[in-house]
Every structure is written in C-alpha cells, then in structure tokens.
Structure 1
C-alpha cells in the first residue's frame, strides 16, 4: 500500500469535478490534513456506535473509511476496527452468535425502509425486487432474477442473481437468509468499485454460498480474503454484452471519438475536453451519449465543451440502445476516463462494435488487463493527448471485436459462471444436473431465451414465501 500517493491541489480537483460534492471528497482524501480529519471522525463515530451495540453502524463507518482511503496508509486503530467488523460479520467460533452486523442491520430503520421500498408495490413485484412501470414489457426483469429453480426431489440448489451493490441491503432486509440458504446459491453483480463496502458483510452466512462478480483484481482479492462463503469471480456487468446488438457492421465513420457516460462530474468530461484542445483536436467530430445526473444535464456539458473551444460535438441524451449502438459503430474510438468505476458496459459495447478504446490508466474497478494491443490504449492524464491522436490515426489497426468474441460477452460470462457454480456444488457433494439460465445485458439483465423465462417464472411465487414478515 502506498504511504502517500500523489497529492493534488484544489485547482486541479475543481478543473476535473467542478464545484461538487465529488470535488470536496476527492480533495479531502488527497489532502493529508483532510485524510487525517476524515479518519479520526470515522474512528470516533465507529467507537460510539460500538458502545451502543450498533454493530451495523460501526461497520458502515469503518468500511466507508477503509474504502475511501484505499491506497493510503491507514492508522493501526482503523485497521484494528476493520478486522473487528469483519469478525462481527463472521460470528464467533464456539458460540451461537451469527453475523451481528446483519442482525444489527435488520433492527435498523434503514432495513425497514429498504424492505418497504419494494413491498409497497406488492409481494409479487417484491419477490423479483422489481419496480412497477407503465406499459411495461414482459421482457424486463427486476433486480433479482431466478437463474435456476430449486429441485425438491433431488435437493439440487437453485440460483438467484442479484444486480447492483445498493440492492444487497434491500435483499437482506426482504428475504429470510436462514431459510433461503437451504434452497439457493446467490450471485451478486455489483455496480461499483471498492468491495470494502459494508453491504457485502451482510451476505456472510455459514450456510449460504455467494458468488460475487469482481472484475478488478483488488476487489477479487479482498473478497477472497473475507472467506465466509463469499466466492469472487473475475467477470462483471460489462461481460454480459450481446455481440449481436453491438456488432461491427461496416459504417461510415462520422465521429473520431465517442463517450458513453452520464453527465456526472466523476466521468471527467473536462479532462477529455482539455486533452482534445491540447492535442489540436478541438474541431474533431465527437459524439457524447449521456443522461442527467444529480442536477447536471446536457447544458452543463455543452457549456463545458465551449469553454475548451470544442466546435464539433454532437450531444445525445437518453437515447435508445439501438441508437447508442449505431453511433458507436460510426465512431473511430471510445473513451472512458473515470478514476473509479465498476465493470463499465460502454467499454464492451465499443469493443463488440469493432471500436478500440482509450481508458484512464488510473481507473479503479475496471479489469485493465482487457486493454491489450488488440483492444485499445491505457493512458494517464498526461499521456491522454498523444493517446487520442494515436488511436484516431491507427484505429483501423486494432482488432477489438475479434478479441471480445474470444474473451467476453454474455455467452462466455455464462459459461464461466455456470462452471463456478458447478464447482461449488461438487465441492459440497451436491448434484448439479441442470445449467443456469442464459442471461444478457439489455442494458439490465434479461433472459436470453424466452422459454427459460417462462420455465423459471413459477419460482418467483415460491420466493414470496421467503419474504420476511417484518424486520
């Protein structure tokens, strides 16, 4: 762990993030004084929570501090508290105490709120962790998908697939894990970087196998270090892309660059625009595909582009996936510059479209080993102007789709996950005679084969019986 990575000044932080909470957090963590104050506050509040027996709040304060201070040297006191909350989640050997972090959470107002978030729409939707939508499609699924039914005759376990980090706490509040563990294994597809999040501790249960998709090697190793029946797997949300939707059809290259990202400051449009200006590419045709985020809309990014002198930017806000695919195919290169992000789907949509990518070398969360001589370029902020020039001029020399078809995509991800689950069953001397259902990103998880969706639908009715009466 680095003792003190590069400290950035306030001006450079504001250039990246503008006046936002992200800028405040980034600067506080990058500042020695800010880190010390933040850590002391986290330790103090965690201790107070522990004095009151609020083990969940203690875990929350500690885990958030450890996550945000990743890469910096933390105090022995915070390190000790982190070991304590992990021990709390695992329970005490020789005593009849199980995961007191989860038990404490289930007594909290937060758990009641997360449970009611879904139950207020009825138990049928809650069983799939699905929110209602007008003129809804039967194809759309909730945040919880059944990948395999439990076989009461043979005892072969079913499989449930949970999407998004923020869904974990709702899942734990909704369902009785003590009962579920006898029938199912759980697969979690997180939506963020940094698995030191307290949410993962809620899933530690002595009888419940949980497979956690972890593209980034740091997250993979962290989950593996927890043990507790949590099993990391080096795939992520971006690996479920459908190569038939994002294909490399021959198209006129209308844009030099495409960036698929929300209008959030964390996407660092400003760094992209600055690099274009520095590289003499202010008039290069660019496509920006995004959507509003926390009050920032397209007009914010338009003003930002003008401030850097960019003259040829096409903005596309909240457009259908088919139009996203068309614009990507008509671009020479894709760009992702976030410092911290999970398994970004946009990168893989580019690769399957035959479009190489430029990725921030400092990114945390994405599997950077996927950026090869065939797929694109890793670049630091200082290297970005030259990287943009190179990939624009040499885009035709990369082979991103060929690499993607061999190494990622929903069929490859399905195969890897299915074999992991088979291995867990064999290790536990359990039968594994039926594969999991085939799913893909659309952009949220859906069943690939409608017949499998129909076959699995009755299991959601059974899941209703495992919803807690209360928390």
Structure 2
C-alpha cells in the first residue's frame, strides 16, 4: 500500500511538472508574481527557489523570468546574490555524499575536483568539478579567488536546469568560468546572462570509458532482450516501463529483461513488486550493486537498452549502451523534449508508452546491423568532449593579451566519469601531483 500511494503521488507530481508544459504559462505568471512579492520582502533565497523550480521543469515563459530574476539578484544587485550564497554556505552541512569532505576537504582532490592541465609559465592550469552537490562545498572549503588566479575552472552539473544557486554562486568572481550545458535551453540561459559564466555544449555522458564499454566479439549471442540501467528511484519510472512493455512480454513469454540498479528512494523489493503488479516479474532478472565491468558485460549481452525517465541529468547509461553496440530506446519528451542528435538511425529511437513494444521489437531486429559505437566514437567520445573544452578555454585566453603570443599550452587530460566521481583515461594523476599539492594548500582555515 505504501508504494502504491507513493507511485500515485509521483504520477500527479510528474504531470504537474513535466506534461504539457507549453500550456503552463498561467502557472509561470502566478509564480512570477509570487517571486516578485518575495523580492520586495527581500526573501531573495525563496524568490530564486521558486524561479529555479519553474525554470528546471521548463514551463512556458520560465526562461525569460529566470534570466530577469538572476540579473536582478546576482548581476545588477550583486549584494542580493552574495546574500543568497552566504546563507547557503552557512547552512551547508554534511550529507552522505559530502561528510568526509567536512572532515578533510583535501579528499575532494583527484576525483571530485580534477586537474586537467597544470599551470604553465604563460597559461593557467585547468580544473573541473563534477556534480552539483560539490559546487558549494568547493566554495566553502577552498580559497577559490586565489585558485582562479592560477586555474581555469569548469563546472559539470549533474542535472538539467541550470538556474540554480550552487551554479549562480560563481558569478561573484571576475574570472570566466565554463559551465557544461548539454541542454540547448540551459545553454541559452547561461549565454543570455552575459556574466562570467560561459556555456559549453558537452555533458557528463560524453566522458565514458570506451575501453571498458566496448563491443562484444563478432557473433557473440545476446541472451538479454532488453536492459535498463537505472537506480531504484521513482523518477526512473520502472512502473510505467513495466506497464508499457507488458503486451510484448505477454506476446513472447521467453522475452528477457535485465534491471541493473541500486537503492535510491526505492528498494529492489519495491521494483520487484512493481514488476509483479504489471505481470512481468517472470521475465525480469535483477542485478544490484554490480561493478562497472559487470554493467558493461551485461550491456554486451543485451539486444537493446531503455531509458524511461521523464526528467533527469545527462544520463550516462545510454551512451555506455551505445558504446557496447546496444541500441537505446529513449522516452519521447525526455527533459525538455529535445530530439537529441545522438539518438538516430545508427544508435536508437524515441518511443512513447503507446509504441514502446513496437519500437523495441524493431530495434531488436535491426541491432545486428546497427553500428552504435562507431557513431559515438566519432561524435560523442571523451576525447571529443575534451577537445570542445580546450577550444572554449583557448577562446577565453585569446581575449587576454598575455596569452596571444605565448607558447601553446599543454593539452587537456582526458577524464572519464564513474558513479561517484572522475578518473583519468589512460593517464595517471601522478602527472598532476604538484597541482594537487598546491590546491591542497589553499584549503580555508
């Protein structure tokens, strides 16, 4: 009963947040009025929170409202933005992800805060921070002003919707800061602010270890028909997926589904009950807390992969699937409804609840002739993302006379993303030991 009530509540919440958003401009207008009243009362953090929430889900008119609000709070009247940041930092306490950093901030280095280039005589070094959860701790624990004198900074958000206090806090600095903005809507938002934040159109899913996630050997049998790599979480929409795929399972009792995940706000037992409620439990096999190597192996055993969430970040599992030559089914309307160019005739297809079964059947039939990995390696690899970041940094440095005639700086290291942080791709952090030592010496006392 608990899970049924929770799912019913989730469905209502999903409808309010994500369905028919182009028609929700009256809600944006009402929210805008409330936000302005809060601004008059100088409740700036609550004002930003309301505007951020509407922008994140994409209600019509929320982009313009977000740009105007951020301009007033952070850019025209920087004191309001500073107050929001100061209050957020004062309230920032340890959580499961960050508690160890409160005890020793240096543990953020080489994994959460990662050096991509050492400083040179005529060029800055480059560091990158991934996951929103670590942006404010970096500000809280480190002398960022000093660090920005010696390093370029790249922020890698973990969720779509970039009108967030933990990102906007970085507008307080004069130095340009790169922000990965993989959704066109987020890219436009950051660009329209005309602040020190500079958008780059790459995201976390670009940085996949393609040595680990690779194609199976030719002719290898794929016993799994469909795989979903997703934490046991409501927003992953397992129940909706089971309901939509049930007709195909009924038609083919030998159909095999693999679920790979770990507990988030649901448990494996919750997901098993959902499968039973939809009548598909007999074809579903569960894999909990498996290693990345095991995930890659399961993807290579699968004919197709599915992502069925309505809204989240820049999902890595779909690119991991494609690198294993496993085409992906992605729910139509995902995030802001962009028809992503990497979901195409070579890599997969969009589907709705009404045609999921047909799309899956078609992809399974076509899979042996599809070349997903080739497309990703050419257009969306970790190396390609690193080149885009390097080009953005070059453009920044060309604006400063001291860099125009300087020797070419060393290239950026290629990093890859893992479940709990970053690591280097075919390189060692030892190459950046001096940079990490220097950064560690700038922990605030």
SS at match of 2:341: helix
Alpha-carbon distance in 1 for matches of 2:113, 2:287 = 30
In structure 2, the CA distance between the partners of 1:19 and 1:35, relative to structure 1 (3 Å rule), is farther
Q: Tell me the distance in 2 between the aligned counterparts of 1:460 and 1:106.
A: 27
Counterpart position of 1:391: 363
User: Following superposition of structure 1 onto structure 2, how do residues 57-456 of structure 1 map, counting pairs within 5 Å?
Assistant: 57-68=46-57, 70-73=58-61, 83-91=68-76, 98=78, 100-108=80-88, 110-113=90-93, 117=99, 120-125=102-107, 128=109, 141-151=110-120, 153-154=121-122, 156-205=123-172, 207-250=174-217, 251-279=220-248, 280-281=251-252, 283-294=254-265, 296-310=266-280, 311-364=282-335, 368-429=340-401, 430=403, 431=406, 432-443=408-419, 444-451=421-428, 453-456=429-432
Q: Distance in 2 between matches of 1:292 and 1:103?
A: 36
> In 1, Cα distance between the equivalents of 2:347 and 2:430?
38
Over 3 Å counting, the alpha-carbon distance change for 1:99 and 1:220 in structure 2 is farther
Q: Secondary structure at the match of 1:369?
A: coil
Residue 46 and residue 298 in structure 1: after superposition, are their counterparts in 2 closer, same or farther (change >3 A)?
Answer: farther
Given that 1:86 and 1:201 are in contact with CA atoms closer than 8 Å, whether structure 2 keeps it comes out as no
Distance 1:122 1:80, change over 3 A: closer
Instruction: After TM superposition, give the deviation of residue 25 of structure 1 in Å.
Output: 2.7
**Shift in Å at residue 39 of structure 1?**
7.2
Q: TM-score, normalised by structure 2?
A: 0.86
Q: Residues 253 and 283 of structure 2 are in contact (CA less than 8 Å); yes or no, is this contact kept in structure 1?
A: yes
Please give the per-residue CA displacement for 1:2-39, whole angstroms capped at 9, x wherever unaligned. xxxxxxxxxxxx9997145x435324445999997897
Equivalent in 40, 55, 58 of residue 44 of structure 2 = 55
Q: Say whether the 8 Å CA contact 2:67–2:193 is kept in structure 1.
A: no
Give ranges in structure 1 of 5+ residues lacking alignment.
1-13, 93-97, 129-140
Bigger shift: 189-198 or 169-178?
A: 169-178
CA-CA distance at 1:213 after TM superposition: 1.4
Q: For residues 143 and 434 of structure 2, what CA distance do their matches in structure 1 show?
A: 19
Partner of 1:5 in structure 2? none
State the number of aligned residues: 428
Change (3 A) 1:416 1:28: closer
Query: 1:102 Cα shift?
Result: 3.1
Q: How far apart are the structure 2 equivalents of 1:255 and 1:201?
A: 44
Tell me the SS of whatever aligns to 2:344.
Answer: coil
Q: How far off its partner does 1:322 sit?
A: 0.9
Secondary structure of the residue that 1:466 maps to in structure 2?
coil
| CA apart distance, 1:415 | 1.9
How far the C-alpha of 1:291 sits from its partner, in A, is: 0.7
- Asked whether the 8 Å contact 2:85–2:165 carries over to 1, the reply is no
Shift of 1:376: 0.8
Q: For 1:289 and 1:360, how far apart are their aligned partners in 2?
A: 18
Tell me the secondary structure at the aligned position of residue 106 of structure 2.
Answer: helix
Change (3 A) 1:326 1:55: same
1:463 to 411, 416, 439: 439
Work out whether residues 124 and 461 of structure 1, in 8 Å CA contact, stay in contact via their aligned partners in 2.
no
**Per the alignment, do residues 249 and 379 of structure 1 end up closer, same or farther by CA in structure 2, a change over 3 Å counting?**
same
Alpha carbons 1:216, 1:234 under 8 Å: kept: yes
1:281–1:99 distance in 2 versus 1, CA, 3 Å:
farther
Contact 1:360 1:380 in 2 (8 A): yes
Segments of 5+ residues of structure 2 without an aligned counterpart are none
> CA 1:101–1:387 in structure 2 vs 1: closer, same or farther (change >3 Å)?
same
* Partner Cα distance (2:89, 2:318) in 1: 38
Deviations 1:82-103 (A, max 9, x none): 61333321245xxxxx464134
